[in-house]
Structure 1
Amino acid sequence: MINNKQVLSEDWTVVFLGFLLIITALLGILIPTPSFAWESQIDLVEKVFSSNNLLKLAQVFAFTYVIAIFAARLLGKSIKATAQGFPIVFVLTSFALILAGNAFLKNWNIEAVIFSLTIGLLLSNFFTLPGWVTESLSTELFVKIGLILLGTSVIFGDILKAGSLGLIQALVVVVSVWYFAFWVSKKLGVDEEFAIMISSAVSICGVSAAIATAGAIKGDSKKLSYVISVVLITAIPMIIFLPFIANALGLSQAVTGAWLGGTIDTTGAVIASGTMVGEEALKISTIVKFSQNVLLGFAAFAISIYWTVTNNQSATAKEAKPTVSVIWERFPKFVLGFIAASLLFSFVVSSETIDTVKGGFKSLQGLWFALAFTSIGLETKFSDLFSKEGKKPLYAFLIAQLFNVFVTLAVAYVLFN
């Protein structure tokens, strides 16, 4: 199939399209936010499948469809394949979002990306997909657009609101756990790319950190799927058992909240677990988790620099050190877009405007991530996802998470007792 001439690199395309979405919303053209939440069959029919909600979903589809085709044009990919394949990916992803919107599943913090990945895997492993479907998949593009939108929610002012204790704990835990996880991964023979993703997921904020790190180092999507699957699976028992352990140890709500916020890898799981303990625990766990979340941009930037330099040196071992121009050429530009979006919403956009657009951005960000994981599933075999890399990454993750549990408990006890 004949493709167009590439106009922009993928990273610059992502920055351009991400800010096109942001500017569109700031100009008052708000993106509809369809509801996927339901508890009973009646809710499913009257809320999710209501004519008004389906109209919103159709509007979101039209919006993302145009972006996907525009991206194909800029990247020199087949517009015909994208025009045919994207609607299928969107429908499958919408089905995943509806499944994840069930109240029972939300209580267990089973996120939409797991359903997206599972649906894609089932189709790719049990059916033969047409070539135009696989040709239309743009996993990295979808992930990176979602990350640009994620930058709009990282507000620097919130770091100060989080409080000094929460920020101190976040810094201590993130740095110590990241380096320990990386060290353990390397000791177990896990490759560096996998090790960096595992370290970020355990130490910072789970799914978002794994996705951001994979984007920063241009990581293998199969390894990213592996890490996220482990993050979400281990979060479930932690939601249930950590509050009971805290109660058995006689910890105060403040210490318990700080422990939960620094240990559990996803924000939704932290909120669910904190709610089981009490109001004060919920408040402090949210503050600590958010303090870790706001470090994501700094971490992605630092990891990008590290990977750009070391990856270049390994590729050209004869060179003493890469030049500035080489570093710039290899540096993932979407990270700059993420930081620019954060700075824009931290210091330029008014709080009133942020309140108006943040719901739409959060919904759209989640949609792009889900589209990416549907795409990953559609191009992945079960053997690639779970068997190829063996059990070493799983062992590395679990050991690092156990270290995280003890270190965070100690720091939380010192700071919040």
Structure 2
Amino acid sequence: MSDADTPTDPSKPITAASQDGAATATEDGRVKPDASRPSLRSDMATSEDWWAIWVGFTILAIAFFAVLLTAPTGFDAEGAEKLTSPLKPYLAKPGKWISSPLTAFESTWPGILGAFITIGVLFTVAMKLRRKDAMGFAFAFPAIFALATIAYVLASQSTVKAYNLEYALWALLVGLIISNTIETPAWLRPAILTEFFIKTGLVLLGAGVLMSRLMALGLPGIGVAWVVTPIVLVSTYLFGQKVLKIPSRSLNMVISADMSVCGVSAAIATAASCRAKKEELSLAIGLSLSFTVVMMVVLPILIELMNLPMAVGAAWLGGTIDATGAVAAAGAVLGDEALEIASTVKMIQNILIGVTAFLVATYWVTYVEKDESSQRVGVGEIWYRFPKFVLGFIIASIVFSLIHGQVAGGDLLTDAMIKGSTKTLRGWFFCLAFVCIGLETNFRQLLPYFKGGKPMVLYVCGQSLNLVLTLLMSYLMFGILFAEN
């Protein structure tokens, strides 16, 4: 995604900017392919997308073999409780607290320190090898990590936790307060690596998106997650362009993907595909987080008032609420079985992240930028536009799905790896990314995109369509065609 240090005119289409040599803009702002792209070898050695894969795979390999090498011989389901990651004590986030925030660190400070060292060392090395400002990153990273820690502490207060006000919201607020009051100090900028943090986190997420989950619910889950989602995505995008006439196609697309696929993760991947501005991504994420909080509270109440079958209601939750964590929280209100169905439907939907990113990149290169530049854009541009970190997500999903389902005890190994290390680090990566988004977002730059309230109208209308279609499909799949007798 391109940098946006100055406000843009919302009356003009927002076009792509150069990133990793993929494209450049002409003097009139139109986009053209860049003839001087780096070679694949050079790209893999220096680009942020590829390094998100290398860092993510390094963490996954270390985490998996740490569990494998310390696992007891011949462990089985009975010994699952003994199978834990040896890294677990050294990777943690602040714990729950009631009156004194200091209690959040009583038993977790070694793990918080371990997360700080792990991420700091890995990213400093990555920045050095990428020939970026490694020393500047190392100097600024402790401050960024401290802000992320504050966000985690705020989210872990018992009352706040009861209302499911997740760390992402607090991380955004912490960054926004700084950027919109004293402004973000220049010395922090080498460590404001929004995309690098979140792309690495998404690679780690791939290890938890298991293909076996898809098979567990089979056709009904696919019907809810894979049929409705593309209909809502395309309909919302066309509605924004044809009816609301939103000037920025990339803003339109990011909001549509965020709302229809799976929230923030899809927004990040889609924004990379269509070269959205950081302000546009911030706006989409802000809308998503705001409505997620409301929906996770209201939908379980509606399901009970409507007296929907448990499976139907759970599938409805999984297909509509944006964040996976919020889906789990809302599903838990309805019971353990609802939690499992809702989470599985959401994980099936998460698989569409990579598919959506690829299709958006294809559409943007072959249609949008061709129209804006009046030049022929080659099909090869799709590869350069495609966010490469999505490949890491897909590969991690396939590899750990095979280990989970085909290797004896593989399910226990992967579960111990994820719960004991990678899930915690993934949370830190996302928290750091949200802090960075806040630090990069200035309301003066964001206000033009709210002109006329069109982004809000787009989200509300799209989410309304999503709620209606997902409920109908959930009832068809889980209430009629595949209903349990």
TM-score norm. by structure 1 comes to: 0.89
Give yes or no for contact 1:162–1:291 (8 Å, CA) kept in 2.
no
Query: 1:378 matched to which residue of 2?
Result: 439
Identical positions, percent: 35
1:171 deviates by 1.4
Distance in 2 of aligned mates of 1:302 and 1:411: 24
1:25 deviates by 1.8
1:316 deviates by 4.8
Give yes or no for contact 1:112–1:370 (8 Å, CA) kept in 2.
yes
Residues 95-140 of structure 1, C-alpha deviations (whole Å, 9 max, x = no match): 1111112233233332212211111111122114432212332212
1:33 and 2:91 correspond: yes
1:169 and 2:220 correspond: no
Query: 1:361 matched to which residue of 2?
Result: 422
| Cα separation, partners in 2 of 1:144 and 1:49, compared to 1, 3 Å | same
Q: 1:137 aligns with which of 192, 204, 209?
A: 192
Q: Given residue 376 of structure 1, which amino acid in structure 2 is its aligned partner?
A: I
Count of residues paired in the alignment: 408
Which secondary structure state, in structure 2, belongs to the residue aligned with residue 189 of structure 1? coil
Query: 2:5 matched to which residue of 1?
Result: none
Distance in 1 of aligned mates of 2:204 and 2:349: 18
Q: 1:243 aligns with which of 279, 290, 300?
A: 300
Query: 2:50 matched to which residue of 1?
Result: 12
1:165 deviates by 0.9
Write out aligned runs for 1:22-171 (5 A): 22-28=60-66, 30=87, 32-41=90-99, 44-46=101-103, 48-50=104-106, 52-171=107-226
Query: 2:9 matched to which residue of 1?
Result: none
| Cα separation, partners in 2 of 1:355 and 1:98, compared to 1, 3 Å | same
Write out aligned runs for 1:144-223 (5 A): 144-187=199-242, 188-190=244-246, 191-223=248-280
1:387 deviates by 4.2
Query: 2:354 matched to which residue of 1?
Result: 297
Give yes or no for contact 1:216–1:335 (8 Å, CA) kept in 2.
no
Q: Given residue 152 of structure 1, which amino acid in structure 2 is its aligned partner?
A: A
1:398 deviates by 0.5
Distance in 2 of aligned mates of 1:331 and 1:317: 21
- Of 132-141 and 360-369, deviating more is 132-141
| Cα separation, partners in 2 of 1:333 and 1:246, compared to 1, 3 Å | closer
Which secondary structure state, in structure 2, belongs to the residue aligned with residue 353 of structure 1? helix
Distance in 2 of aligned mates of 1:16 and 1:314: 36
Which secondary structure state, in structure 1, belongs to the residue aligned with residue 180 of structure 2? helix
Give yes or no for contact 1:146–1:368 (8 Å, CA) kept in 2.
yes
1:77 deviates by 2.2
Q: Given residue 230 of structure 1, which amino acid in structure 2 is its aligned partner?
A: L
Structure 2 unaligned spans of 5+: 1-41, 67-85, 405-409, 480-485
Distance in 2 of aligned mates of 1:18 and 1:228: 23
1:322 deviates by 0.6
Which secondary structure state, in structure 2, belongs to the residue aligned with residue 77 of structure 1? coil
| Cα separation, partners in 2 of 1:128 and 1:286, compared to 1, 3 Å | closer
Distance in 2 of aligned mates of 1:393 and 1:129: 26
Provide the aligned C-alpha RMSD in A: 2.4
Query: 1:232 matched to which residue of 2?
Result: 289
Q: Given residue 49 of structure 1, which amino acid in structure 2 is its aligned partner?
A: F
TM-score norm. by structure 2 comes to: 0.78
| Cα separation, partners in 2 of 1:354 and 1:282, compared to 1, 3 Å | closer
Which secondary structure state, in structure 1, belongs to the residue aligned with residue 96 of structure 2? coil
Q: Given residue 346 of structure 1, which amino acid in structure 2 is its aligned partner?
A: S
- Of 21-30 and 54-63, deviating more is 21-30
Query: 2:476 matched to which residue of 1?
Result: 414
Q: Given residue 351 of structure 1, which amino acid in structure 2 is its aligned partner?
A: D
Q: Given residue 274 of structure 1, which amino acid in structure 2 is its aligned partner?
A: G
Write out aligned runs for 1:381-400 (5 A): 381-390=442-451, 391-400=453-462
Q: Given residue 338 of structure 1, which amino acid in structure 2 is its aligned partner?
A: F
- Of 131-140 and 62-71, deviating more is 131-140
Which secondary structure state, in structure 1, belongs to the residue aligned with residue 207 of structure 2? helix
Distance in 1 of aligned mates of 2:97 and 2:254: 35
Distance in 2 of aligned mates of 1:345 and 1:322: 35
1:89 deviates by 0.3
